[in-house]
Structure 1
Amino acid sequence: MADPAISFVIERTGDLLIQKIVFLKGVRRQVERLQNDLVRMRCFLKDADQRQDEDARIRNWVSEIRAAAYDAEDIIEIFASKVEMRLKETADSREEYGIKNLGEGMTTHGEELQRIRRSSPLSEDKDIVGFREITKSLVAELLKEDRNRRVVSIIGMGGAGKTTLAKKVYNHADVRERFKCRAWVCVSSSYDYKKILRSIIKQLNEMSKELLEVLEKMEEEDLERRLFQDLQDKCYLVVLDDVWTEEAWDCLAGAFPDVGTSSRLLLTSRNLDVAQHADAYRHPYELKTLGQEDSWQLFLKKALGHGANAVCPPDMEEVGREIVRRCAGLPLAITVIGGLLLGKKELKNEWEKILNDFSTYLSRSQNRVSAILELSYAELPPNLKFCFLYLGLFPEDSVISVCKLIHMWVAEGIIQKRDAKYLEETAAYDDVERLCSRNMVQVAEMTVDERIKSCRVHDLLQELAIRKAEDEYSLQIHDTRDDKISAKSRYLAVHILSRDKNHFGTSPAPLRSLLFFNTHGYEENISLSFESFRKLRVLDLENVMMYSNLPEGIGKVRLLRYLGLRRTSIGRLPHSFGCLRNLQTLDIRTTYVAMEVSNFIWKLESLRHLYARGMECDVPLKIEGLSNLQTLLGIRFDDIMHNNMITLTSLQKLGILVDRRSDIDKLCMHLSEVGSLKTLHLDGSSAISGELPQLPSLAGLSKLHHVTELKLIGKFLTMLPPDFPPNLSRLSLKFRELEYDPMPVLEKLGQLSFLKLEAVWGRQLVISRHGFHQLKFLELYLVYGLHEIEVEEGALPQLQCLRIRKCYSLEKLPEELKHISTLDALELVSMREDFISRLDADIASRIPNLRIF
């Protein structure tokens, strides 16, 4: 299999030959020769991944080629050719070492993987099998009449399905009924005590900006005291998933009161001693491996992708059952190898090849799970390998924003366009789906239209990613205070900061990615010498407290493509920022309301995504001419009006801060010719220049024929717009108070499929049979004063999901819901306990997925 690093550099040098021809004058022939050498080397690397484990000479040679390829890209980016000689010498050394041609033939990978629907992080896997009896026992144990606080434990080896089982129990209807106060937190091997306490508190309380700020400033003792008070009089259930040590339990236990409320803690661990230490009076539930038939059914669901209707072709059953037997009943092993086969054609010889390869990897690995994970990794296409390994940078069990991940992948050059109209971001999202469908990555959260919003990596797979990336891509995780940062590191994730202020030593590493995590508790100012980081493509400082502003030296990091400053204390960007001509993503949603900037944004010609909460500039901010810009959020109305928006030919998503002086009709005319614009946010929630946070008249929206998604926020707006964009399919409205029921107006929007409404009007909301013919998702959020929802017969014929959040005055659900045959999910979030207890059993039984949070 061709090495990803080589493939990327070949693509990159080809791009540079086309794009930078003027600057490469005089060295063009050398760059072409370099590219040709790399193409020839790629032929030898086709199956080197398999062979390098067998021969140390091959392994060392591959490592040299990879390092040289990275150096080549670094140097070519600054228009030099110093590695040509080195690559030539390395290529010649292949013959000197006696390494034969490793072969150019490779079997092609399977067809495009189908999208598979995933559930939310705390809902159970629909393909789960074999846990029926133990689930019943666990639920009964949690519901026992015992007023003391008890700890119920699930133990088992890695990959046995402990978390999956805990989710099934956590979401059980009887458990939800008993424990109105519930929370779930993943502890993991390298836990952050304050982060865990904050997470539980957030799940138990209605969040506000003020509370979030208070929690961030609290020390451990204050957080523990706050959580103890929150739980003091509650019958609570808290899941502590993946507890590794007795010390971790001892650290957490004091925050959970035992005051005779029949509360329970559900704990999962690989360690029997941890479970017995937590509650010596309760025998832990040991999760055994799946039986032969349960293993076979799970395998069929994952490998064939037909859910409950999966049937194995007769001629493949023998080899399929042998593959399952080798998995030894471990759900993770079965799931991952099933995902691997899902990407293959349903051919006997394909399955036999996997079985043979499995035997090879099993002979090298310590256990079956490791062998299967190694095999599944080896079978990934080159770009997916790198995508998967990049996930090793993120902390264990972290929930990873897919949007952020995609921006980083694109910045690293991992993603290649499929064709001229196929954006790299679209290709990157497809790769997220491929990794999920292969079960190498887990879906953490889905959007209502079933797109993956966030993901996570199982800890065993993360261990694999880190191990492979350390060997193959010079990835380093800095997670102890005594760690020394290697001078060879190219990808560095800082999980713990040392007390030594010179974090990166005197000899800078050739870093391409530098990411910081979990550093918000670090009290000293973090200073970075950007002189040392001239090869950086990705720099993520989210949550890092840099009390000084960015130094001017940032302008020398000319290769930088991703810069994340979200939730930092940086208030100003320096003048040198305009030198970052390769920057693609800039996130400046800092702790300040608005970031001070000079008028340099227009110079960032490669910019694709700009996320802000307003930008302060002493002159109108120039943005016209940014032809690559796709996302622009948090820009002021006046700045938009001073620019020719037609020049932003790639703009898809635009978020504008407006006030009551803003002429929306004039704005809409200004934007009407921006044909690429699909999403528009108008935000009047914050006071601007002393004005009241109120939106003006919204006339003119009907001119926006290209806009399909609209979000309006205005706390004091009392009337709906007179018109909407004619092709609108998604609408979010957040108003303080409306004078009338908005449904008669909104139901006439014939293409509307998504509606989220937050407002106040009266006691009743009526949905008639005449409208909302295409509506698939409806959310009512904080609709104060709403007592009754009336749904007429025949209304909402396409509705798939109804979500009701914090509508505290609502007395009951409409009877007509049980007659909507398309309704798949009903989600009730933070509703009153008496509302939940009065739920109509007939309605609940007819809706496939009732979720109560």
Structure 2
Amino acid sequence: MADPALSFVIERTGDLLIQKIVFLEGVRRQVERLQKDLVRMRCFLKDADQRQDKDARIRNWVSEIRAAAYDAEDVIEIFASKVEFLTKDKGLVTKLTYYPLKIVNLYKIVWYKKSWRGDDYTWSRAATAPAILSFQRSEDKDIVGFEEITKSLVAELLKEDRNRRVVSIVSMGGAGKTTLAKKVYNHAHVRERFNCCAWVCVSSSYDHKKMLRAIIKQLNEMSNEQLEKMEEEDLEGRLHQDLQDKCYLVVLDDVWKQEAWDCLARAFPDVGTSSRLLLTSRDRDVAQHADAYSHPYELKTLGLEDSWQLFLRKALGHGDNAGCPPDLEEVGREITGRCDGLPLAITVIGGLLLAKKKLKSEWEKILNNFSTYLSRSQSGVSAILELSYADLPANLKFCFLYLGLFPEDSVISVRKLIHMWVAEGIMQKRDTENLEETAAYDDVEELASRNMVQVAEMTVDERIKSCRVHDLLREVAIRKAKDENFFQIHDTRDDEISAKSRYLAVHSLPWDKKYVGSSTPPLRSLLFFNVHDYRKNISLNFKSFKKLRILDLENVKMSYNLPEGIGEVRLLRYLGLRRTL
């Protein structure tokens, strides 16, 4: 996992040695020694990265080496930026670092200004907005085994009952509730019946005002600024008004608590228009609480044959009626059996095998590794997700863990994600023609191909526009990040920020220096989410964050001026100011 950071540090030290500048006199020997040490560290990590799950000592060594690599990179970049600042000929050190006051190049500055002012909302859409899409939800083409339950759910939604009813889908995590709901939501007969439709992911970290805004936003053209000024009662009243006299269908995906339903239910009018709410939940009690007269539909795991067909589609990349090479069938069926009929497990293990050579020895190796991870996991699906993470190349591990910083069920803008990864410096040009942005997009596609992320929205030219991470996979990312001291999520007032944190996501406010602890962490990324209801201006002492590369203040209430002291952050490469006014 430390390999991307080490590779970048080694490249940076090489750049320093190449430069013919007098400022290196007296430190060249130390830089050469550092570079040799880092190369040796990288060799050690190639072996240790696969063994750290089994040995706590190796895990601690890897963590310490990663911290040392980051420290080395910080020293090099700060030194290089100071050299450039003092050098009259600014062209001498352009390969080392950006000019301190030129945080991003001109076109990115224009892009951020547009985003900040809201001039181009459709182009630079909010990166962590709830799942607010058009009526046609992005749907997985490789759906197996849902034909009968889809027919039943569609028939239930279209029943001649003028009362508002709740139709529920319940199952364990990873069984395909959201996939099934999308299939029903996009059904032609459903689209013909309902003249007003919306979809929102509720999730375990329920935010009532956020959910109301998300639904209202899909029903009319109110601006974010207008919605954010409205209090809870006003939002409920507006939604009730928008749905009045409409035959509406609203999907409430991933509802965890009865309280979440109780809060939302007040805004859904029951006025004899045959309106429906489609609810998905892991908890049967939540579904029955929402509508005691409606029987929840239980989504069962896939049978052996359906599991096998889904596995073939994902592992071989074929369409319907895909055949399996005879020499792979026995081991393939054994792998499929270990998935216990859970579509998520089958999809992820299939994505892993799709990236492998179609050799029996390769598939047997995965099967043997699965047994190893199963002995350390609580369930088969956990073992599969852990195995799929372990199989990722080092650069994709970094990218996958970084996604864990985003809140649960976030729809993440790929454009924004690419800018962040490039700003982190882990993206290397694949060849002389392809830029770092191309490499970053390739990594998004690779994660999607491995089914480690889900495509949420596509562009007209069939490129991934936004993505999301299944909550079970996000739990893996958070657990791994904790084990490897990769990042920290601040989501309660009682959290104290670790002095070792380098990546910090703030999901809860107030956030100020008393949460940082006795010393300032060497942060590289500082991201704020879901803080638009916090009415006070946030004050940050940028002199304490001199190692910061990424600062995302989206939705943070600010004055019309840039944050005071921002010029002190000379290593900053990404500054997000969208919707900060």
Q: Same fold (TM over 0.5)?
A: yes
Q: Which residue of 2 aligns with 1:163?
A: 178
Out of 438, 443, 448, the position equivalent to 1:431 is: 443
Match for 1:453: what amino acid? K
Q: Distance in 2 between matches of 1:2 and 1:139?
A: 49
Check conservation: 1:150, 1:265, Cα contact below 8 A. Answer: yes
Over aligned residue pairs, what C-alpha RMSD do you find? 1.8
Q: For residues 474 and 131 of structure 1, do their structure 2 counterparts lie closer, same or farther at Cα, with a shift above 3 Å needed?
A: same
Total equivalences in the alignment:
528
Question: 1:124 and 1:133 mapped to 2: Cα distance?
Answer: 18
Shift of 1:18: 3.2
Residue 519 (structure 1) aligns with: 531
* 1:35 match: 35
Query: What amino acid is the match of 2:71?
Result: D
Instruction: Report whether the alignment pairs 1:356 with 2:371.
Output: no
Distance 1:407 1:240 in 2: 31
Out of 418, 430, 451, which is 1:418 matched to? Answer: 430
Contact 1:435 1:441 in 2 (8 A): yes
Match of 2:285 among 273, 279, 297: 273
Q: 1:463 aligns with which of 467, 472, 475?
A: 475
| Counterparts of 1:53 and 1:212, CA distance in 2 | 45
Higher helix share: 2
* 1:568-587 superposed matches below 5 A: 568-569=580-581
CA–CA distance in structure 1, aligned partners of residues 398 and 11 of structure 2: 15
Q: What is the deviation of 1:344?
A: 0.7
Q: In the TM superposition, what are the counterparts of 1:308-319 in structure 2 within 5 Å? A: 308=320, 310-319=322-331
Asked if structure 2 preserves the Cα contact closer than 8 Å seen for 1:387 and 1:414, the reply is no
Greater fraction strand: 1
Tell me, what secondary structure is at the counterpart of 2:169? strand
Q: Percent identity?
A: 84
- Counterpart mapping for 1:169-184 below 5 A: 169-184=184-199
Report 1:615-626 matches (<5 A): none
Distance 2:563 2:243 in 1: 46
Equivalent AA in structure 1 for residue 234 of structure 2: D
In structure 2, C-alpha distance between the alignment counterparts of 1:390 and 1:532, rounded to whole Å: 23
Shift of 1:70: 1.0
**Aligned 1:717-796 pairs, distance under 5 A:** none
Amino acid at match of 1:25: E
Instruction: Give the one of 278, 290, 299 matched to 2:302.
Output: 290
In structure 2, do the counterparts of structure 1 residues 144 and 551 end up closer, same or farther at CA, with 3 Å as the change threshold? Answer: closer
Is 1:306 the equivalent of 2:318? Answer: yes
| Aligned counterparts of 1:501 and 1:233: Cα–Cα separation in 2 | 51
- Report what 2:551 is aligned to: 539
- How far did residue 15 of structure 1 move? 3.3
- Cα gap change, 1:68/1:493 in structure 2, threshold over 3 Å: closer, same or farther? same
In structure 2, what is the equivalent of residue 402 of structure 1?
414
| Equivalent position SS for 2:546 | coil
Counterparts of 1:121 and 1:504 in 2: how far apart (Å)?
44
Tell me the TM-score normalized by structure 2: 0.88
Report the counterpart of residue 591 of structure 1 in structure 2: none
CA apart distance, 1:17: 3.0
Q: Residue 313 and residue 22 in structure 1: after superposition, are their counterparts in 2 closer, same or farther (change >3 A)?
A: farther
CA contact (8 A) 2:512 2:539 kept: no
2:63 paired residue number: 63
Instruction: Please report how far the alpha carbon of residue 33 of structure 1 lies from its aligned counterpart in structure 2 after TM superposition.
Output: 1.2
Q: How does 1:440-839 map to 2 (within 5 A)?
A: 440-498=452-510, 502=514, 504-505=516-517, 507-547=519-559, 549-569=561-581
Rounded to whole Å, the distance in 1 between the matches of 2:172 and 2:136 is 21
- Which residue number in structure 2 is paired with residue 655 of structure 1? none
Alignment partners' CA distance in 1, 2:482 and 2:24: 34
Contact 1:2 1:48 in 2 (8 A): no
User: Relative CO higher for 1 or 2, CA cutoff 8 Å, sep ≥ 6?
Assistant: 2
Deviation, 1:473, is 4.0
C-alpha distance after superposition, 1:187-228 (max 9, x if no partner): 0111221121111111112x25xx443212111110111001
Q: CA deviation at 1:548?
A: 6.2
Listed one character per residue, the Cα deviations across residues 137-164 of structure 1 (whole Å, up to 9, x for unaligned) are 1111111111111111111111100000
The answer to whether 1:243 aligns with 2:255 is: yes
Query: SS at the partner of 1:455?
Result: strand
Match of 1:195 in 2: 210
Preserved CA contact (<8 Å) 1:300 1:310: yes
* 1:130 aligned partner: 145
Q: TM-score, normalised by structure 1?
A: 0.60
Equivalent residues of 1:120, 1:446 under 8 A apart? no
- What's the counterpart of residue 73 of structure 2? 73
The CA distance in 1 between the partners of 2:482 and 2:142, in whole Å, is 34
In the alignment, what sits opposite 1:150?
Answer: 165
Deviation at 1:179, TM superposition (A): 1.0
Looking at structure 1, the residues matched to 178 and 21 of structure 2 have their Cα atoms a distance apart, in angstroms, of 54
* Equivalent residue letter for 2:561: N
CA 1:513–1:500: 2 relative to 1, 3 Å: closer
Q: Answer yes or no: is 1:346 the counterpart of 2:358.
A: yes
Contact kept in structure 1, 2:2 and 2:66, CA below 8 Å: no
Secondary structure at the residue paired with 2:480?
helix
Q: Is the 8 A contact 1:120 1:445 kept in 2?
A: no
Q: Which has the larger radius of gyration?
A: 1
Pick one of 247, 264, 277 that aligns with 2:276: 264
Indicate the residue corresponding to 1:618 in structure 2. Answer: none
Report the residue type matching 1:126 in the other structure: K
Task: Give the AA of the match of 2:528.
Answer: F
User: 5+ unaligned residues in a row in structure 2: which ranges?
Assistant: 81-133
Is the Cα contact below 8 Å between 1:120 and 1:443 reproduced in 2? Answer: no
Q: Are residues 392 and 2 of structure 1, via their aligned partners in 2, closer, same or farther at CA, if it must alter by over 3 Å?
A: closer
Asked whether the 8 Å contact 1:527–1:546 carries over to 2, the reply is: no
**Contact 2:135–2:197 (CA under 8 A) maintained in structure 1:** no
